[in-house]
Every structure is written in C-alpha cells, then in structure tokens.
Amino acid sequence: MAAIIDGKEFAQRIHDFVRAQVWQIQQDAGQGSVPGLATILVGEDPASEVYVRNKGRKTREAGMASFQHRLPATIGEDELLSLITELNHDANIHGILVQLPLPAHINSDNVINAIAPEKDVDGFHTRNVGLLGSGQKAMLPCTPLGCTLMLREHFGTLKGKNALVIGRSNIVGKPMAQLLLADDCTVTIAHRYTENLIDHCRQADIVVVAVGKPGLIPGHWLKPGAVVIDVGINRIIQDGKTILVGDVDFASATTIASAITPVPGGVGPMTIACLLYNTLTAYCRIHQRPEPEETGFTLAQGIGQLREFREAS
C-alpha cells in the first residue's frame, strides 16, 4: 500500500517555521515590525469566503498582521485597481492576495498585474511568471511550491525523475512544470488534447494531477512505485452525502503508487502554509533580511527555532 503524504502535518511544520521567523523579526526590529498580508474578496462567493477567512486566521496565528478587504460584487474595476495601488504603497503590507475568481465585468489579468511584483504572494504577476520561466528568483505560486516541497522531502532529490504534470493552468500546471524542470526532472505536460495519456502515466516516476475531474486517473494507469500529488478538489455525492475527492482514484492508486497525497488533507493545507511562507519571503526581500530559502528551510532548523520561540514566550 502507498504511503500517505500528510499535507496537514507538513503544513503545520511550515507554519511553525514561519511563526518562529516572525518572532525573530520582532526580536530584531521590534514588536511593531511584522509581515503584513492584505486579502481582497470581491462578492459573496461562499467558498471564497471560507478560503479568505482561513487565510486570515492562519496569518494571525503565525504572528503576522492580517488586513482583509471585502468589496461588493458591483465594484468597478477602476475602484479595485485604486485600492491595490494604495496597498502597493502601504509600508505595513508586504503581501497582497486577490481572491479569484472575480466577477465577469472585472479583468483578472489587469488586477493581478496591478499588484507590485514584490508583494505578489500568489506568484501570478507576469513579471514573476517570467522570472520563474527564465530560472531567476521569483515569487513562487503557492500550490506548486507546496507540491514541490513535499516531493523534495519524499525523494531527497528529484534529479533525473520522469515527471508528468496533468493540467496546464497558469495557477498550477505551468508553474509546477517549471519548478520540476528547475529540480532537474524530465517533464511532460498533458492536457485535454493529449493522446494516449495512459502511456505517459506508466512512464512517470512523479504524477501531479490538477484538472478538476474526479477519478480521472485510475490506479492501473500508474507506473508501479510512482509518487502521486493530487491537486484536484471535487465535491461529489456518495451514499447521499457530499464528500471531497481528488482527480486520482485514491483507492486503486494506493495499491500501485509508493506514495500519494490524500484529498482532503494533502495539497490543500500546503497552499495556505506556502502563502505564509511567501509573505515572510516578501517581507525579508523588502527589508533586505536573509530570506527563508537563504537561511535554509530545513525541518531541523525550523524545529530548533520554534523551541527557542516557545521558551522565550
């Protein structure tokens, strides 16, 4: 049976690491100096409200400042862009996140690219996309970053692995492929027009699926011993109850794969944890402090810093 990659547990370790780093910032720069994250929610989409509420709670638990802006669905694009400009110039805010999707009358690309690239903690700004694609230092999209961290911990090194990314969205698929390339994988991207998808699956040491179709990939398609990262979150009715499932048929995949992320409890918690990590990174870059990556995000260091933080608290 496949090992279950526990995203909740890994996300908590990242959260603890970030909290310890924020505590160190307070020791060095004073209690009033903490990373600040601004979230913007337009409209009243129930799922988006839950996401934004959870992000705000986790931000505060990490010792950061949370600034939430809830706007009516009727707001004009110019007014939204004006708010983003204000946040770009606010010294207390180091990360800006606009919850997607936006109402149809607002151009999402205009909004994303209005965010200052150094405060773009979602990693969606065209500048960050270009930096990632050219192998330069960029703000990395949260979900692909979380997937990569889990893969690195599982394998130690990804060098030489055959990786298959199913889905080519700008949010997950494309940046995921870029990160795997940066880690020296041989990468294939599959999409709705890919022929003989089963053949690609059977050659892949790593399969990352981000499509939004429940049970798209059955276990017998997988290469024995493959590691599966299931990004899909789908609500289905089973036995009269609504449950969450991924894009991979979990039951059959566990009999073939060597490791797999569950849904829920896999990639989802890592996305919010990496949002906090990115906000910390943005703060460090803006204030010219050593970045988390430069200090070495190791679990041993994170645990040691957390112990020091708790003893001082």
Q: Which residues are annotated as a binding site for NADP(+)?
A: 167-169, 233
Q: Rounded CA gap, 308 and 24, in Å? A: 10
| Enclosing H/E stretch for 68 | strand 65-71
**16, 21, 120, 122: which one is catalytic?**
122
**16, 21, 99, 205: which one is catalytic?**
99
Do 141 and 281 meet the contact criterion of CB atoms below 8 Å apart?
no
Pairing of strands 227-230, 206-209: parallel
Do 164 and 222 meet the contact criterion of CB atoms below 8 Å apart?
no
**55, 58, 161, 223: which one is catalytic?**
55
* Residue 50 CB burial class (10 angstroms; 0-12, 13-18, ≥19): exposed
Q: Which one, of 8, 5, 6, lies nearest residue 227 by Cα?
A: 5
- Residues marked as binding? 167-169, 233
Known active-site residue 241: no
Q: Rounded CA gap, 164 and 161, in Å? A: 10
Amino acid code (one letter) for 41: L
Known active-site residue 78: no
Known active-site residue 55: yes
Q: Which residues form the catalytic set?
A: 55, 99, 122
